[in-house]
Amino acid sequence: MEKDLKTGTTTVGLITNAGIVLAADMRASMGHLAYDEESQKLYKITNHIAVTNAGSVGDSLAIIRFLRGHAQLYEVERETKITPKALASYLANVLNANRYYPYSVQFIIGGINKKPELYELTPFGGVLERKKYAVSGSGTELAMTTLDQNYEVGITEEEGIALAIKAIEAGKKRDIYSGGKSVSVLVIDAQGARDLSESEVSKFIEKAKTPQKS
């Protein structure tokens, strides 16, 4: 039987004073193989909502299509943009309806609706609203420890990006299913959702490695 491609992964989302930062490692595995070191795990659903995915790649991509289609239909039918909470509720219903043959996935949904909103979704449709940060994947404990020790309410966007990268790097260092070429980062603020370039991420990583002068 062919083994599934999985993102056994480390992903995080955190709230800043300007919006949301989402980040993820870039490794996809197949059994004991590090199959892909440039895997995408951050997806824009609308210009103000995005998600991280962990688990089966096939299941995740199918759900991403559901979410994008539902968001477009919601806007046409109601003549207003879908909110992060409404999208989280829709995804919870999809996952719960398939709980006997569950999708092998775990999502973090982040977005802006007047203020930043952040949600974790379990494979069986549980919704957990997070007021500070959210973590998913096999590197959860490592990333969460980093966030527990360093996160502060009111963190700036730049500080949030640096901390999210630091949390992902912690997962990559010790979790064998997390890794990849670099770290993917997506920011959502008043200007919309945007991906950071590889060079932008590299600057944050290099800055973190540089000893700070006292």
pLDDT in tens, 62-80: 999 999 999 999 999 999 9
Q: Which of 7, 9, 10, 46 is catalytic?
A: 9
pLDDT (tens digit per residue) in 114-163: 999 999 999 999 999 999 999 998 889 999 999 999 999 999 999 999 99
The enclosing H or E element of 5 equals none
Whether residue 204 contacts residue 23, with contact meaning beta carbons closer than 8 Å, is answered with no
What average pLDDT does this structure show over 191-200? 94
CA dist., res. 65 & res. 45, Å (int): 9
pLDDT at res. 208 = 76
Residue 111, token pair as written in the block: 């977005």
pLDDT for the residue numbered 67: 97
- Whether residue 211 is predicted with pLDDT greater than 70 in this model: the reply is no
pLDDT of residue 1: 33
6-209 to CATH, choices 1.10.3720.10, 3.30.1330.30, 3.60.20.10, 3.10.20.340: 3.60.20.10
Decide if pLDDT at 7 tops 70. no
For residue 154, give the 3-state DSSP assignment: coil
Signed CA dihedral, 88, 71, 20, 194: sign only: positive
Catalytic-residue membership of 140: no
Q: List the chain domain ranges.
A: 6-209
Q: What are phi and psi for residue 98, nearest 5 degrees?
A: -110, 25
The Cα–Cα gap between 126 and 142 comes to: 23
- Identify the sign of the CA torsion 136, 108, 116, 40: positive
pLDDT at residue 5, as a whole number: 58
Question: What's this model's pTM, rounded to 2 decimal places?
Answer: 0.91
* Averaged confidence pLDDT in the chain: 90
CA distances to 32, 52, 59 from 63, in Å: 25, 12, 6
Please report which confidence band the pLDDT of residue 28 belongs to, taking 50, 70 and 90 as the band edges. Answer: confident
Give mean pLDDT, residues 45-63.
94
